[in-house]
A and B are shown apart, each in its own frame.
Chain A
């Protein structure tokens, strides 16, 4: 075990971790927006919209993220869609994780009682207001855990964008391997960096959960 090497590459790995983190955050933001739209689409009164939302989830979950990345980054230019590796990665991962997250949101919406929707509709609120004012705020507390799990998965999936040339954590580690021929040490450090990122995400999720729990305790 070459501890000196570990000490030497640590600052570089830490820097690459920042890029991995920003990939995660940007994809998460896109994912949450996509997930909300898709989840609401699955409750639409308009059959084609429901069908479209369901098909979207099936397609995104039915194909490997790596294939999706290749389609967007390598296939995109064929359709006139030239994206930088970072943008291609963030868009693909966002739209991919959004499909998974929409399932968690859908489940939370279903879990909020039917009675809530009836109370809102009986007052005269429309479907959109009912969702926005009464269903989603309550569903939010129920969906945090599943969104958290998906965020953890997302942070590790960012390793895949190394294949389209984004020098994030995994790609950066690979570069050190080619220059040092010490794959064990280098990838162990990279692995530890992922653990650190996941730990931070878990802490944040727990914090948000605590926030909602505290709110519920105040109301109980």
Chain B
């Protein structure tokens, strides 16, 4: 079953805050090893959509599937808690504001998940953390506290922390939006490396050029609907829909 099933599948996702509907029936399918970028103006619902995949946002209706398992199973109470805690381990998430744990060192940030949730020994978790730090180019920062790191370094640690759980997919929620321009590239490099390793990724971003370069598929969202989607080079450079064109004009002129 997992052979044919898409890695991520969203069916008719809807979400409302009161009477305001922010997601109006989104369908999305991401095959294993593929990279999908979601762009759109703020308030378009793109972050909400990403956050509803691991249920940091609750949806009003629709189905969310990860590798043949339903994420939003209709369970109650503790049964649901157990289910969601388990399935979240299979989805790495990277936040705009990094959200590192400031009271823990870089190594502790990366090791705490594998040790407490996956039952790794301290030695095994340390090995894994050191390997990941080397991968994101921060092998010498293991004993530093997050406050001592630059924004770009923090975000790379956050990516390493998510990868330490060995997730099936990685969700990036505007991972470079809070960074100074000169720090964006070092984070993009890490994401490109993941892409080269065929990690399944869903990327919400403002960076058109990066999205066009790295992704296999692009979605343009506005007003809670997918306005246009397809080949990223086409969607991002020669869109069909007027709304997409207007967004790109405005965005590229800034």
Contact = CB atoms under 8 A, between A and B. Distances in A.
Interface of A: 113, 115-116, 118-127, 129, 133-134, 137-138, 218-220
A138 B88 contact: no
Contact of A123 (B97, B103, B117, B148): B117
B147 A124 contact: no
Nearest to A130: B85
Interface in B56-89: 56, 81, 85-86, 88-89
A120 to B, nearest CB: 8
Contacts of B93: 119, 122
Contacts of B15: none
B117 A121 contact: no
B99 A219 contact: no
Output the residue of B85, B95, B97 with the most chain A CB within 10 A: B85
Interface residues of B, number: 29
Contacts of A118: 56, 95, 99
Contact of A219 (B85, B89, B95, B148): B148
Contacts, number: 66
Contacts of B158: 119
Contacts of A133: 112, 116
B43 interface: no
A158 to B, nearest CB: 34
B89 A127 contact: no
Nearest to A134: B101
25 contacts: A113-B97, A115-B99, A116-B99, A118-B95, A119-B100, A119-B101, A120-B101, A122-B91, A123-B88, A123-B161, A124-B88, A124-B113, A125-B117, A126-B85, A133-B116, A134-B101, A134-B103, A137-B103, A138-B102, A219-B102, A219-B103, A219-B147, A219-B148, A220-B147, A220-B148
A55 B101 CA distance: 33
Contacts of A121: 56, 88
Contact of A119 (B86, B89, B99, B147): B99
A209 to B, nearest CB: 16
Given A123-B113, A125-B116, A126-B85, A115 B95 contact: yes
Interface in B95-112: 95, 97, 99-103, 112
B56 A122 contact: yes
A129 B81 CA distance: 12
Contacts of A124: 85-86, 88-89, 113, 117, 165
Closest 6 CB pairs of A and B: A219-B145, A124-B89, A119-B99, A122-B93, A115-B99, A124-B88
Contacts of A126: 81, 85
Output the residue of A118, A120, A124, A126 with the most chain B CB within 10 A: A124
